[in-house]
Structure 1
Amino acid sequence: MKTTLQIVKICLFSLLFVQLGAAQQRYELKTDWYCNPVNETQAEGQALSKVSFPIQDWMPATVPGTVLTTLLNNGKVPDPFYGLNNEKIKDIYDTGREYYTYWFVTDFSETAKSGEQVWLNFRGINYSVDIFLNGQKVNPTPYKGMYLRKQFNVTKFLSKEGNNRLAVLVHPADHVGNPNGGQGGDGTIAKGVALQYTAGWDWIQPVRDRNTGIWDKVFIEKTKAVNLKNPHIVTLVDGKRMPGTKQAPATIKVTTELQNTQDHPLSGTLQYTLDGKTVRKDVTLPAQQTTEVALPDLQVQNPKLWWPNGYGAQPLYGIDLQFITGAEISDHEKVTFGIREIQTEWNEHTRSQQIAVNGQKIFIKGGNWIISDAMLRFSEERYDAEIRFHRDMNLNLIRIWGGALPERPEFYEACDKYGMLVIQDFWMSGDCNGRWLDPKKKDDQWTRRQYPDDHGLFIESAADVVKMLRNHPSLAMWCGGNEITPPADILKALKEDVLPQLDGTRWFIDYSNSDEMSYNFKGGNGDGPYGIQDISTFWAEKTWPFNSEVGSVGTGDAASLKRFIPEENQVIPIEMDGTEKVRDEVWSYHKYIDYGDAMEPYGTPTDMEDFAAKAQLVNYNQYRGLIEGFSAHMWDWYTGVIIWKTQNPWTSLRGQMYDYYLDPNACLYGLRTGSEALHGMYDPVKGNIMIANNTFEQQHDIMLRVTAYDMEGNDQQLTQVFCYIEPSSIRLIMSLQRRIQELSAEKGMFLSVQLLNTEQEVLSDNFYWLPDAAGNYSGLQSMAKAPVQAQTTRIAKDKIRLQLTNPSGNTVSFFNRISLIDAATGERLLPTFYSDNYVSLVPGEEKSITLTYAELEKINAKIEIGGWNAPKQVVQIE
């Protein structure tokens, strides 16, 4: 009989053994890759993939990355994002596919001990590959399709000595498309299962290699006999919940695939631990088969619920899902997820779909997303920065446009972190897939309607993408395509097979501007417009009740423009009559959208610096006006709006809240102000003062304070009144139209609309500049100088507090742009995150701005401040 001490020792030994077995090896092959064009390579894959084959003369390769990225990194081509450099790079349509067909080679050390399995995992290639390892072909059948992951058991191919060479021949798409200036060029790029923008679009020039390469990550993974893969976590949250309160239980449902690599059945236990409870199931797996196993449901008590940005926190849970055979962990996968449930219902009043999370309806304030980088140079840091900017704009949703790709898990991790709901389009577009007649397209509509060539590959890729992304709480909806459904057989497979079987928890929109999403009462495409509009349009003219694409301009300031426009082209863009082009070829090449006469009320721009500065005034007003106009009619006209678009993956001169280099412009801060969760605002059409409440709580004892300021800084209080507002609603408080018209008639005026709590803390701070009776900002053009006083305090290793003061003797210090700069070069430090920017201060006012820059400790930084009527000053950081 064993003693208690012996039993404890045995248990500890067993626990240690299991923990050691859990040390699964998984690592990325991302360094020491080399490449060579196929037309300069004499050997075949069997020879190339032997470590004895000399590759010292080959070019260092970027993996993950594309051929063009590697060429750029080796100085073989100029930066295609600068000036007209893209025209200096050979296009694959002219050169032929072989020109961009490359061998990629890397060496790595690995062996397989008895009972171990070694797997080679590709997360994305474009467009097809032949894979060789140590002189042997790894993929006996073709591996093609940009969005399809593949896993290969390479145990038998490994070198006994542990020195291995992997060689991958990457072929471009079979149909690269003629970049003839159409949306997606001649459209034939859509014959493959890949992104369509690479042949050119109205926001980008053609990507010369069509993004050929090993564009996503490559992993080596080691397991024992059973390979655990594609775990699936479903969370069920019934009823109507409130953030920050004690919660009723939520249900967790877990399934996974278990692949038995052996020639005989294997028995073991699938298990995980969460909330102090271990959930397990004993299973027997058939020989050489993959089996999906469902674990018993788990009830999580008082769960921490995940909420969209602005409505609550975004807590995440993690489990380590393990398959144990005997005393060892054969394989395990760590899975991060959020507990939440997405619901949708038709709003009969608006005649559009309405989104709810955890039983609470959410007014959608979204942005359309293309891709992080047009050359697929992705990183966790860039993803995090871009999604953080969307969080800072007070948005709650991002739509992934169908002409690009299924976004990477790292993108979704950032959305999980910052509370961004996501609509993920599948890879169709009305332009390439035949919705419209188009003289630039090679094939007729009947032919294009059946793109891509391989429907089976599309469906297989879609199923794999669903498995890859479905555990992210941010993923809220799937969409069949951009402005068109997939072909009937693909649509049927998605709706009846792929999504019900592999997900089943999210709304599927058949296409982006579908009537099932938003009733198209005007006909046409159901989206847009995309150019500059009079602010009154957003407030007074009803559009689609859930508009999937509506937007405006977005040119950056002079510091941004100078990064990619050569000095000789740094001019004021002047539109050519009857075209979408301007006289300067660089501005046209970078797809500039004309501002029309929107800057004239501020005074005709004198040079590019003046043009770009006045553009920011227009930018701020455009996007504040857009989101306020939609918010003013929430649940009456609208259930949501998605702005086209909020970012650019290329140096395009249209529709962006920050530039390619992650430098924000005034669009971001106008949108940020207009999208506040609790927001006071002014209707420029009717002169109404309104409050929007985008929270789930009734707001009591909110002080509304409206103050007018003239051009000399003299103030008149127009009202100060306590108010309340119901949850998730809009409330009209009063009209001040006549009084505002009187005060602004001669020179224009400033209007401050603020909300305060009973402690007199400012909850919403909204500052308008209004034109004179003729529609001009005549008073702005003759304002006295009003420099601000600035003090700085470093409050964390990556944060600075900037305290701004406008002395009481000044007039309004208007539209101050704050920039964190390198003290040595004067260049802006990017990305820097500002709690606010383009700020105005009335006489005697103080404002505190927080600046966050990750590398602050590594550089000597200063702060630059300059405004409409405040000369630039550079401030030391204390």
Structure 2
Amino acid sequence: MFKTTQSQWLKKLCVLLVLLTTAGQLFAQDQYELNSGWLCMPATRVKAQGTDISGSSFSTSGWKKAVVPGTVLTTMLVNKEVPDPYFGMNNNLIPDVYTAGRDYYTYWFVKDFKEALPAADGQVWLKFRGINYSCDIFLNGKKVNAAPFKGMYLRKSFNITKLLSKTGTNRLAVIVHPPDVVGNPNGGQGGDGTIARGVSSQYTAGWDWIRPIRDRNTGIWDKVFIERTGSVSLDNPHVISLVPGKRKAEGAQEPALIKVTAELKNSTAKEVSGNLVYTIDGKKVMKSVLLKANSAAEIKFPDLVLKNPKLWWPAGYGKQDLYDLKISFLEKGTKLTDSETVSVGVREIQTEWNMVTSSKQISVNGQKIFIKGGNWIMSDAMLRLTKERYDAEIRYHRDMNLNLIRIWGGSLVERPEFYEACDKYGMLVFQDFWMSGDANGRWVDPMKAEDQWTRRKYPDDHNLFLESAADAIKMIRNYPSLAIWCGGNEITPPEDILVPLRDKLLPELDGTRWFVDYSNSDDMSRNTIGGNGDGPYGIQNISTFWNTKTYPFNSEVGSVGVGDLESLERILPKASLVAPQFIPADKREPKGPSEKADSVWDYHNYLGVGYEDHILPYGKPTSIGDFALKAQLVNYNQYRGLMEGFSSHMWEWYTGVIIWKTQNPWTSMRGQMYDYYLDPNACLFGLRSGSESLHSMYNPEDGMVMVVNNGFEARRNLMLVIKSYDMDGKESNLMQVFCFMDPSSHKRIGSLKKMVDELSAKKGSFLSMQLLDENKKILSDNLYWMADSKGMYSGLNDLKAAPLKTSAKQLKNGKIEVTLANAANGQVSFFNRISLVDANTKQRILPVFYDDNYFSVLPGAEKKVIIDYTPEKGAAMPVLTLKNYAGNEQTIQINP
């Protein structure tokens, strides 16, 4: 009897504790997103006022479905009112805001949602993470924003507690206007430049890698939240980690110091006391707080010494360990009113001037990092931003063995989801603010509407720029991947923006990162004559990367990336699937293009990028497919050669290089390692090879063999094996030698030029370079194809279409292992492109992550390729296709 009674009592106690816990957690991170059920209508077709539209009696019958977060153009596309602007010349069929007028893209957005009046001191908040460009907000017949809400990059939070309906059914109405000055998209960089008069993205008026975005991204483009808190709300926690000394990636660590602050707001008419508490790694830190009525304060915690911390490292140097830091406010020490969880990477960024290279040198946790970076515009030009797409794109950058992404200044301060992916994959981030030398007046430009002195003062509202910058700093400052702040692309902000940004906002709101005043500043890098710059852009001879010294920390260099045939078919109508025609040098116009391409190619920014001198040694293209295939050979060589050339002078000439550019936010043909649809081309895999942490390589100019070690540890007992293969597969041993590599170093082994030239003279050859560890495991596998004595790749045309012996098995759902073997007496199986495709349509599944592609298999060798992808629920098992340079095609079934 007692046991039964006790059991019943314990059950009641558990229920009571659950109720108490639930009550205490009512406001803990109690937030949801308003991301569905929105309706919209052009403002020109709505005669009512916001106070009426947001009333429950106003009829929205006939209003269109809206995409939020999203832009007006995104909504129009979803409603099939406009054609896909990323295909063919469709973008020309969509009215541009410059000619159609701002009213054309001014829209009302309406959302009905359920939210009851909170009990006691509860508060309800309406939060916007980004609206472009200006708006007015109404809720249940009342205006929400008393002050103007303008600027693309501002977050805004409104206490709507007193505006909520007593019925619990609420209507939100927002009218959104395009930028005040939309700019003339006249073909210039940023059009006529006047788009820069606002605090918004400049690329929307057009650039040499994109056509104009017709609505200039007008809309509620970022997330909208409803958040519930208690009497005290918590915002903008700030976590700083200090990691003194020079650390190793493995083993026990000396302590790190954790510094934390947070903003508290008391929204009630009474004084509130309580405890602000955070926990990390099982440690608790507390601060007693007294807040006056209707007041806000920033609270600073006592410092925490974190023992034996797990550190965060850039990709290729160590793990990306992250801690959850939960911070909460407890009214009277017991009642939870609000809390937030911050993902913390314990690391410290340091910089110093390298006197040898005359450039800045980046260190993480005391270890110098040779920067191998890519320039990033944004994920999608129409702001269709998703966590999944961010994850895929950042993973591609990690898979290219890069360690930094620079966010170009004509775009935006990237979203938290972008930074979460960078934290996950170990990408350092170089974040520009919203300036560009093109639109903001660095150069004389006849395409611009106003003179340099006028453009130098852009934007019109300097206070709005600074307010937006302060808010952006608070939004992303906790991410360990964020490494560098930059005032703008190729130009500083005006002095009355630069000085407070550099000397006040960044020190006070962050204070832990290098600020460079503009992207090619002398503070970043100086060449031998004392200045800095960027470029060159376009295809270069590979020997140039090795032997011609450029800027010692080059922020932009490189620019090819046309995809293969399947990629081109996604963006070009059939009539335009014609290879560019090469113009002989004696028939070119002065300073004219070396190629003539279809007009649709030029619309997608092909712009005669100069493939001809690099493709013709493989033979004049016979078809669009042949052109696209040979372009991949050029792509692979360009980006392998670029990174090998810079690595060959690591710490002597260079401290880093950032490629212009590694991705496109629309269907451009300029500068991309993968296309807009996330299909990688050979650029990605050439760069992946050249950027290996441990890599053996060959200088095509003087035949010098080199090994580079980017790691923190010395590498002993490495064996370098170098062989040559002729076009029939005959093998010649050229070198087999042990290598001993110091940390973060490169070494010249010796020249093989005479032997390689002799073996290549007749038809060309293949040069295989492999680094093996003491267990004979291949650590670096690098294959070059060498030209004949006339500079032609004549032997490649003699390769026979011999199939490989293949098998594939599913290791787990979404992970496949492919085994490919080449006959011992055969030729080199050259330049194989493997694709995971739908079993029925044979179209590529995207995105897919291949640990190698555009690979070759030596005679008698076996190669394994690991493939990762996310299977669609209920989809049939895909198949694999394999195509090589000689034209052989195979289909590989996957064993479950």
TM-score (norm 2): 0.96
Which structure 2 residues correspond to residues 796-811 of structure 1 after superposition, within 5 A? 796-811=812-827
**Of the candidates 521, 528, 535, which is equivalent to residue 535 of structure 2?**
528
Aligned residues of 1:555 and 1:656 also touching (Cα < 8 A): yes
SS of the residue corresponding to residue 691 of structure 1 reads strand
> Could you tell me how far apart the structure 1 residues matched to 2:679 and 2:173 are?
39
Q: Note the C-alpha offset of 1:7.
A: 14
For 2:42, the equivalent position in structure 1 comes to: 37
For 1:90, the equivalent position in structure 2 comes to: 95
Q: Note the C-alpha offset of 1:20.
A: 3.8
Change (3 A) 1:695 1:524: closer
Aligned residues of 1:787 and 1:870 also touching (Cα < 8 A): no
Which structure 2 residues correspond to residues 384-783 of structure 1 after superposition, within 5 A? 384-521=391-528, 526-574=533-581, 577=588, 578-580=591-593, 582-592=596-606, 593-783=609-799
> Could you tell me how far apart the structure 2 residues matched to 1:269 and 1:819 are?
57
SS of the residue corresponding to residue 320 of structure 1 reads strand
**Partner AA of 1:702 in structure 2:** L
> Could you tell me how far apart the structure 1 residues matched to 2:781 and 2:730 are?
19
- Which segment drifts farther, 548-557 or 285-294? 285-294
**Of the candidates 209, 217, 239, which is equivalent to residue 245 of structure 2?**
239
> Could you tell me how far apart the structure 2 residues matched to 1:821 and 1:8 are?
55
Change (3 A) 1:877 1:857: farther
For 2:25, the equivalent position in structure 1 comes to: 22
Q: Note the C-alpha offset of 1:8.
A: 15
How many positions carry a matched residue from both structures? 874
> Could you tell me how far apart the structure 2 residues matched to 1:552 and 1:777 are?
23
Q: Note the C-alpha offset of 1:248.
A: 0.4
- Which segment drifts farther, 280-289 or 127-136? 280-289
For 2:4, the equivalent position in structure 1 comes to: none
**Of the candidates 127, 131, 142, which is equivalent to residue 136 of structure 1?**
142
Aligned residues of 1:704 and 1:719 also touching (Cα < 8 A): yes
Aligned residues of 2:121 and 2:268 also touching (Cα < 8 A): no
Q: Note the C-alpha offset of 1:184.
A: 0.2
> Could you tell me how far apart the structure 2 residues matched to 1:8 and 1:517 are?
66
Which structure 2 residues correspond to residues 296-445 of structure 1 after superposition, within 5 A? 296-326=302-332, 327-445=334-452
Which structure 2 residues correspond to residues 46-65 of structure 1 after superposition, within 5 A? 46-65=51-70
Q: Note the C-alpha offset of 1:596.
A: 2.7
SS of the residue corresponding to residue 374 of structure 1 reads coil
1:869 aligns with 2:883: no
Q: Deviations over 1:601-626 (max 9, x none)?
A: 11100111100000000000000000
SS of the residue corresponding to residue 257 of structure 2 reads strand
- Which segment drifts farther, 403-412 or 254-263? 254-263
Change (3 A) 1:521 1:44: farther
Aligned residues of 2:632 and 2:682 also touching (Cα < 8 A): yes
For 1:69, the equivalent position in structure 2 comes to: 74
**Partner AA of 1:877 in structure 2:** I
> Could you tell me how far apart the structure 1 residues matched to 2:346 and 2:42 are?
48
Aligned residues of 2:358 and 2:527 also touching (Cα < 8 A): no
1:294 aligns with 2:300: yes
Q: Note the C-alpha offset of 1:17.
A: 3.0
- Which segment drifts farther, 848-857 or 635-644? 848-857
Q: Note the C-alpha offset of 1:16.
A: 6.7
Percent of residue pairs bearing the same amino acid type: 61
1:173 aligns with 2:179: yes
SS of the residue corresponding to residue 727 of structure 2 reads coil
**Partner AA of 2:596 in structure 1:** V
TM-score (norm 1): 0.98
**Partner AA of 1:354 in structure 2:** Q
> Could you tell me how far apart the structure 2 residues matched to 1:866 and 1:654 are?
25
> Could you tell me how far apart the structure 1 residues matched to 2:610 and 2:94 are?
28
**Partner AA of 1:159 in structure 2:** S
Runs of 4+ residues deviating >6 angstroms: 5-16
Change (3 A) 1:154 1:53: same
For 1:211, the equivalent position in structure 2 comes to: 217
Change (3 A) 1:702 1:9: farther
Q: Note the C-alpha offset of 1:522.
A: 5.3
5+ residue gaps, structure 2, are 1-6
> Could you tell me how far apart the structure 2 residues matched to 1:688 and 1:192 are?
52
For 2:114, the equivalent position in structure 1 comes to: 109
Q: Note the C-alpha offset of 1:371.
A: 0.4
Change (3 A) 1:434 1:351: same
Aligned residues of 2:579 and 2:597 also touching (Cα < 8 A): no
**Partner AA of 2:90 in structure 1:** N
Aligned residues of 2:522 and 2:532 also touching (Cα < 8 A): no
**Partner AA of 1:448 in structure 2:** R
Aligned residues of 1:305 and 1:315 also touching (Cα < 8 A): yes
Aligned residues of 1:481 and 1:512 also touching (Cα < 8 A): yes
Q: Note the C-alpha offset of 1:317.
A: 0.4
> Could you tell me how far apart the structure 2 residues matched to 1:673 and 1:41 are?
57
CA RMSD of aligned residues (A): 1.7
Q: Deviations over 1:498-530 (max 9, x none)?
A: 000000000000000001000144578610111
Aligned residues of 1:797 and 1:856 also touching (Cα < 8 A): no
> Could you tell me how far apart the structure 2 residues matched to 1:482 and 1:582 are?
31
Q: Deviations over 1:125-181 (max 9, x none)?
A: 000010000000000110000000000000011000100000000000000000000
> Could you tell me how far apart the structure 2 residues matched to 1:428 and 1:655 are?
21
Aligned residues of 1:816 and 1:870 also touching (Cα < 8 A): no
**Partner AA of 1:17 in structure 2:** L
SS of the residue corresponding to residue 701 of structure 2 reads coil
SS of the residue corresponding to residue 547 of structure 1 reads strand
Aligned residues of 1:46 and 1:135 also touching (Cα < 8 A): yes
